[in-house]
Amino acid sequence: MSATAALMVAAEGGIIGDGRTGANLALGVGLLGLAVGRLALARAGGRISIANARTGGRSAIAVGLTGTALAVLHLATSSGGPGTGNGLVGAIVAVPLGLGAVLLGRRALARSRGGDRPPVDRMGV
């Protein structure tokens, strides 16, 4: 099974459970993207030193786009409306989560380009 076919089956809820499986998967991926983006942004700001901010920013963008794609795919393939048990509301919530991860990743990438900024005077003089 190709990766695209696996994503479609997961978004439709065909792997396990009911129609909410695809929405839950998209929500989880979106939340993971937000966490990675937040860590990358903290690293770019110099608050923590656990990893490379550029790698974290790129990862947040990739995970956020994946979560958004899963949510949109679930929205496109789900039948019924909100409250029918097919995970439509969860997919609607997952779209801004994924887009938020993309924005955090982009911001981390922008902040990690240290050569473009003038030096910061931390002494206040």
Q: Identify the residue with better confidence: 84 or 115.
A: 84
Name the DSSP class of 118. Answer: P
Which is nearest to 72 in space by CA: 14, 114, 113, 25? 25
Classify the C-alpha dihedral 19-67-25-85 as positive or negative. negative
Question: Comparing 3 with 92, which gets the higher pLDDT?
Answer: 92
**pTM given for the model:** 0.69
CA distance 82 to 86: 8
Query: What's the one-letter identity of residue 43?
Result: R
The two tokens of residue 28 are: 């989880």
The token pair at 104 is: 């955090």
CA distance 39 to 47: 10
pLDDT, average across residues 75-91: 79
DSSP-based three-state secondary structure for 78:
coil
Tokens (6 digits) for 108: 């981390």
* Predicted pLDDT of residue 4: 66
SS3 of 1, please?
coil
